[in-house]
Amino acid sequence: MNYKTIFRIVGLMLLVEGAALLISLLIAWLAGGSDVMAFAWSSLACLVPGLLLVMATRKSSMMISRTEGFLIVTLVWLIFSLFGTLPYIFSRTIPGFADAFFETMSGFTTTGASVVDNLETFPKGILFWRALTHWLGGMGIIVLFLTMMPAFGIGGMQLYSAEVPGMTVEKISPRIYQTARIVWGVYVLLTLVEVILLMFGGMSLFDSVCHAFATMATGGFSTKQASIAFWPSPYIQYVITLFMFLAGTNFTLLYFAGRGKFSRLFRDEEFRYYFLFVLGFTILIFSGLLISTKLPAEQAFRDSLFTVVSVITTTGFVTADYLMWRPVLYMLVFILFFFGGSTGSTGGGVKIMRIVLLLKNSYYELRRIIHPSGVIPVKFNKHAIEPRVISNVLAFFMFYLMVFFVSTVILMIFVGDMDTSMGAVASCLGNIGPGLGSVGPVFTYSAVPDAGKVFLSLLMMLGRLELFTVLVIFSPSFWTDQ
C-alpha cells in the first residue's frame, strides 16, 4: 500500500475543499452575514493541513492500484465530510458534532436529509455552503479532482472506477481526465440553464443558484423549510421536475444528445426503462389521487409527477406530503426508494440498470428451467451480458437487502419505531432524503438520537459509493494481498 500517495491525494483534496470554503466565504461577505469568520477559520483549517500533506509527499508516485483507489475514495469522502462540519460548528448554526456531521454527509452524498428545523434563520453563506456540498458531491468529489489533475493517467482510472462503480465506467474520451471534464461541462451547463429558467419563474438569483445546485446533484437541500412547496408556481415545479429527470439520466447520453445525437437516448435500454418507470408510477399515483382526493386534475398530476421523479432520481425535493395519501399510494412511493437513477447520472440508489438486469435474469431463469440444455444469455442493449456481471448484480442486491434489514434493526434500538427506522434507513442508504414516519417529507431528522444520526451518516456514504467500494476495505484479503 503506497501510503505516501494516499496522503498526497488527501492533502490535495483538502486544498480543493479549502477553495470551496473560500467561495462560501465570499458569498457570506457579500451578504453581510454573521458567518464570515466561521468560513475564514474553516477554510484555513482545510488549507493548512492540506498544504502540509502535499509538501511532505512531493516525491511520491502518482500511480495508483485498484485497491488503493478504493481506500483513497473512502478516506476522501469521510475526511471531506468531517472538515465540512466546521462552518456549521464555528457559526453555531448547527453546534453539535453529530448534527453537523449528518448535515454535511447528507450534503456531499446528495442525500438531502436534514436536521435543521429553522432554515429561514440561517445566514446566506451557510445556506450556500449546504447547496455547494450537494453540487460538489453530485458529480463526484474525485471526478472534479480528476478534471484538474490530468497527470494521473492510469491511477486516475482507478479513482474514477472506485467513486463511480455502477455497472460500467463509460469513457467519452480515451483519457479519463478528458471524460471527467466533458461530464462536468455538461453538469455546469445544465446548472446554468436551470438557474436562468428558475429566475424567469420569479425565484431570486440566490434561491435559483442553490436549487439548481441541489437539483442537478439530485440532492434535495432547499433554502426554505417547506422545500419546493414554498413556491406554489406550477412553472417552477415543472422546471425542477424536468431537471431532476435530466440529472437522473446518464450524462454520457446527455452529452451525445447535446451534440445532436438524440436517437442515442431512446436506443439506450436503460433510458427507455427509466422513462417507462417514471411514466408508469406517475399514472398509477395520479389515478389514485384522482379517485381518493378532491385535488384539481392538474395539481394531482403535478404532485404525482414531481414526487415520482424526485424519489426515483433520489433528489428528495417535496411539494406534497405523500404520507397523507392513501397507504397504497405512499407504498408505491416507498417501492421507488429501491430504484434510483441511471448509471452515469448523479442519482443514487440501486440504479435502473441493476433493476432491469435482475428482472431479466429472473425471467430468463424460468426459461432455463424449461429448457435446461439451452444457452439463454441475458441481453442488454442487444449485447449478451457476461455471467460475472449478473453475479455482481445479484451480490449487490443481496448485500443491499442485508444492509437494509440489519441497519433497520440497529436503528430501531435508537428510534424504537419500525416505520421511521425502515424509512430512514432506506432513504439514507438510497441517498433520497425524506423517509417514513417521523422522518417523512414534512419532518426532519432532528429527533433521531446522536448515535442514530452518526450511523445514518455512515449509511449515506455506504450508499453513495455503492456498497462495494467501502465494504471491500473490511475484507481481510484487502490488506493481506497488498
- CB half-sphere exposure, 379, CA atoms < 13 A: 5
Report the phi/psi class of residue 348: left, alpha or beta, with left for phi > 0 and alpha for psi in -120 to 50: beta
Task: State the cell numbers at 439.
Answer: 422522518
Q: What is the model's pLDDT at position 66? A: 76
For helices 141-148 and 154-163, the axis angle rounded to 10 degrees is 160
Spatial distance between the Cα atoms of 241 and 309, rounded to a whole number of angstroms: 7
Q: Which three cell numbers stand for residue 332?
A: 408505491
Residues of the chain with pLDDT below 50 are 152-154, 169
Could you read off the pLDDT of 268-301 as tens digits, one per residue? Answer: 999 999 999 999 999 999 999 999 999 999 999 9
Predicted pLDDT at 231: 96
pLDDT of 174-220, one tens digit each?
Answer: 566 677 788 889 999 999 999 999 999 999 999 999 999 999 999 99
Please choose, from the candidates 122, 141, 109, 179, the residue with its C-alpha nearest in 3D space to the C-alpha of residue 20. Answer: 141
Task: Tell me what pLDDT residue 247 has.
Answer: 96
Residue 19, number of CB atoms within 10 A of its CB: 13
What pLDDT, on a 0 to 100 scale, did the predictor assign at position 321?
96
Phi-psi region of 78 (alpha: psi -120 to 50; beta: other; left: phi over 0): alpha
Prediction pTM value: 0.93
pLDDT for position 369: 87
Return the half-sphere exposure (C-beta side, CA atoms, 13 A cut-off) of residue 415: 27
- What is the rounded CA–CA span in Å between residue 457 and residue 441? 18
pLDDT at 6: 86
CA gap 428, 430 in Å, rounded: 5
Q: How far apart are CA 465 and CA 478, in angstroms?
A: 17
The pLDDT of residue 154 is: 42
Task: For residue 15, give the C-alpha cell.
Answer: 486544498
**The pLDDT value given to residue 92:** 95
Residue 415: strand, helix, or coil:
helix
Among 198, 202, 229, CA closest to 211 = 198
Q: What is the pLDDT of residue 174?
A: 58
- Chain centroid, CA 146 distance in Å: 19
